[in-house]
Amino acid sequence: MPKVLGISGSLREGSHTRRMVELALQAAAECGSATELLDLREHPMPLFEAHRDYKDDTRIQAVVQKIREAECYIVGTPEYHGCMSGALKNLFDFVYTEISGKLFGIVAATGGSQGVSSLDNLRACLLYCHAWVLPYNVGASSRDFDDLGNIVNDQVVDRLRRVGRDVAVYGPLLWEQFRRDLVQPDGAPQGFAGWVQ
Ligand X SMILES: Cc1cc2nc3c(=O)[nH]c(=O)nc-3n(C[C@H](O)[C@H](O)[C@H](O)COP(=O)(O)O)c2cc1C
Q: Per CB under 6 A, does 144 bind ligand X?
A: no
Q: Where are the beta strands (DSSP E) in 68-110?
A: 72-78, 103-110
User: Which amino acid, residue 19?
Assistant: R
Does residue 109 belong to the site contacting ligand X (CB under 6 A)? yes
- Look up residue 84 and give its DSSP letter: -
Report CA dihedral (165, 141, 11, 72) to the nearest 10 degrees.
20
Could you tell me the sign of the dihedral formed by the alpha carbons of 36, 38, 42, 43, in that order? positive
Pick from 111, 183, 190, 197: which binds ligand X (CB under 6 A)?
111
CB of 115 to ligand X, least distance (A): 7
Query: By CB under 6 A, is residue 194 in contact with ligand X?
Result: no
The single residue among 51, 55, 81, 180 that binds ligand X, judged by CB under 6 A, is: 81
- By CB under 6 A, residue 16 contacts ligand X: yes
Name which position in 6, 17, 121, 163 contacts ligand X (CB under 6 A): 17
C-alpha R_g of the chain: 16
Interacting residue ranges for ligand X, rule: CB under 6 A: 10, 12, 15-17, 78-82, 109-113, 142
